[in-house]
Amino acid sequence: HKGVAYDTWLHATRDWSRWQRWKIKALVMIGTTQKFFAGRYKGMLDLLRQDGITGARAHFGILWYALGQPGMARKILGAWLAFFLPGFHPWKHDD
User: Which three-class secondary structure state does DSSP give residue 88?
Assistant: coil
92 lies in some domain: no
Domain tally for the chain? 1
Residue 91 makes CB contacts below 8 A (sequence gap 6+) with 2, 3
68 vs 28: CA distance, rounded Å: 27
pLDDT score of 83: 94
pLDDT score of 92: 84
pLDDT digits (tens, 9 = 90+) for 64-83: 999 998 898 999 999 999 99
95 lies in some domain: no
Residue 80 makes CB contacts below 8 A (sequence gap 6+) with 33
Reported as a pLDDT band with limits 50, 70 and 90, residue 15 is very high
User: Which three-class secondary structure state does DSSP give residue 67?
Assistant: helix
pLDDT score of 95: 64
93 lies in some domain: no
Reported as a pLDDT band with limits 50, 70 and 90, residue 34 is very high
Q: What domain range includes position 33?
A: 2-87
